[in-house]
A = this chain, B = another copy of it.
Amino acid sequence: MKAEILSVLKRDGGYVSGEELSRRLGVSRTAIWKNINALRDDGYVIASVTNKGYRLEKCADLLDADLIRKGLETSIVGTRLDVMKSVDSTNEEIKRRAALGEKSGLIVAAERQTGGKGRLGRTWSSDSGGIYFTVLIRPDLPPSDIASITLAAGYGVCLAIREYTGLDARIKWPNDVIIGNKKVCGILTEMAAQTDRLDYVAIGIGINVNHEEFPDEIKNKATSLLIELGRKTDRNEFFRCVIRQLDLVLSSFIVSLSVDEMNDFKKLCATVGRKVSVQRGGLLIEGKAVDITPGGELVILSDSGTEYTINSGEVTVQGIY
């Protein structure tokens, strides 16, 4: 009911009387009044004037599908968008919907994840102030492309942060976005596939937007747009910008990146050019990250002069958390 009332108030822009709302939505005026108060509790500012009715003055600081979609024209990513108040994990929700046949392009976002997941089975804290969402795509690609898809998504988030805030966001291979030497975004990509063909890919993305601070244990590793900018970001507008960039990057990725795009992408990879160490099997490789292959692997030139191509594993980068 709250959503329907909001929808009428947003559509009309001006004052709508309680009587008209009650008639349009087929409920009592008392029900309207109760829901208006509930919306105010959510943070919406709604003016009420005798003989005129209600008018929406200011939206709550909540993700709002209508606001996000405003003026958004994308070819695949975000052609459908669903904002949930709370969910176990947006990746799990997308996987459930994909299993039921949901098509490419759907985004599920949530204000709160009760069981947010990170890589390697870690938990991902989903405090309020962030943007947590998962994109469903069904590209006609082999499963070995999943690492590149993750990198492409990270590149899209980088571009959106750079465009919307001017901050120097960069990719930390394989699945983080950093500002300075701290993490501002993490990506968890999951897939369902046959041996040589993807069924679907769920790209889960969490961005720290309006977090004022972080728990002690991650304080030195994590940052947010608010901490970097010193002011709040309109999450709905910024989210729209992220979706637009993801759509551009993922669409061109799916039809394969041009050499120019690949070079642009590498320029934003904070890992390339730095000293790194990686545990691989029983072996500790120390050296310098020198390149990213077209397949999304990290090329390391070890201190002993051997070149290694790494497609996974925990990489420690000197100078980054």
Interface size of A by Cβ–Cβ distance < 8 Å? 27
Those of A190-238 within 8 Å (CB) of chain B: 190-197, 199
1/0 contact string of A127-153 vs chain B (CB within 8 Å): 000000000000000111011001000
Across the interface, name the chain B residue whose C-beta is closest to A187: B195
**CA distance in complex: A175, B189 (Å):** 27
B190 and A175 contact, CB distance less than 8 A: no
A144 lies within 8 A of B195 (CB): no
A300 to B296, CA, bound (A): 25
Closest to A144 in B: B144
* Contact status A196-B143, CB under 8 Å: no
Is A190 within 8 A of B189, CB to CB?
A: no
Please tell me if A309 contacts chain B, counting CB pairs below 8 Å: no
Contact A144 B311 (CB under 8 A): yes
Chain B residues closer than 8 Å to A196, beta-carbon distance: 119, 311-313
Q: Which residues of B contact A95 (CB under 8 A)?
A: 99, 192
Instruction: Decide: A190 and B188 in contact? CB cutoff 8 A.
Output: no
Is residue A120 contacting chain B, with contact meaning CB distance below 8 A? yes
- Contacts of A22-38 to chain B: CB distance below 8 A: none
In the complex, the answer to whether B144 meets A197 with C-beta atoms within 8 Å is no
Contact of A188 among B99, B144, B150, B194 (CB under 8 A): B194
Q: How far is the CB of A202 from chain B (nearest CB, A)?
A: 10
Chain B residues within an 8 Å CB radius of A175:
195
> Which of chain A's residues 90-135 have a Cβ closer than 8 Å to chain B?
95-96, 99, 119-120
Say yes or no: A120-B197 contact (C-beta < 8 A), given A143-B146, A146-B143, A312-B142. Answer: yes
A195 touches B312 (CB 8 A): yes
User: A39 CA to B194 CA in the complex, in Å?
Assistant: 39
Contact among B119, B120, B189, B192 for A191, CB-based, below 8 A: B192
Q: Residue A174 at the B interface, CB < 8 A?
A: yes
0/1 per residue, A252-269, Cβ < 8 Å to B?
Answer: 000000000000000000
- CB neighbours (8 Å) of A174 from chain B are 195
A142 contacts which chain B residues (CB < 8 A)? 311-312
**Quick one: which of A172-190 are within 8 Å of B by CB?**
174-175, 188-190
State whether B195 touches A193 (Cβ < 8 A): no
**Which of B189, B194, B195, B199 is the one whose CB lies under 8 Å from A195?**
B189
Which 5 A-B pairs have CB atoms at the shortest separation, nearest pair first? A196-B312, A192-B192, A190-B194, A189-B195, A146-B195
